[in-house]
C-alpha cells in the first residue's frame, strides 16, 4: 500500500514539472533552479514522511527556531 502512495507522489511531482517547466522562459535560470530544488526537497520530505510518519515536519523546525525569539519580543 505504501508503494502506491510513493508512486502517487512521484506521479504528482512529474505532472507538476511537466506542467510548469515549459511555462518558464529559457532566460529564467534562477527560477528554474529554485523550482527544481524546491520540488526535489518537497519530494524527499514527502517520501521520508511516508516511511517515518513520527518524524517532525518543517513546522516543528520553524517553532524551534522562532519560539525563543517570540519569548524575547513578548517581554
**Are 9 and 50 a contacting pair, CB within 8 Å?**
yes
Q: What is the pLDDT of residue 67?
A: 87
Q: The pTM is what?
A: 0.69
Q: What is the pLDDT of residue 75?
A: 64
DSSP per residue, 2-54:
HHHHHHHHHHHHHHHHHHHGGGS-TT-HHHHHHHHHHHHHHHHHHHHHHH-TT
Q: What is the pLDDT along the chain (75 residues), one digit of tens a residue?
A: 788 988 999 999 999 999 998 888 888 889 999 999 999 999 998 888 888 888 887 788 888 888 888 888 776
Please return the burial class of 42, using the count of CB atoms within 10 Å of its CB with bins 0-12, 13-18 and 19+: middle
Amino acid at each position: 500500500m505504501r508503494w502506491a502512495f510513493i508512486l502517487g507522489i512521484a506521479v504528482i511531482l512529474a505532472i507538476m514539472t511537466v506542467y510548469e517547466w515549459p511555462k518558464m522562459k529559457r532566460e529564467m535560470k534562477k527560477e528554474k533552479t529554485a523550482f527544481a530544488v524546491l520540488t526535489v526537497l518537497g519530494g524527499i520530505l514527502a517520501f521520508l514522511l511516508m516511511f517515518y510518519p513520527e518524524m517532525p515536519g518543517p513546522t516543528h523546525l520553524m517553532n524551534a527556531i522562532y519560539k525563543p525569539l517570540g519569548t524575547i519580543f513578548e517581554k
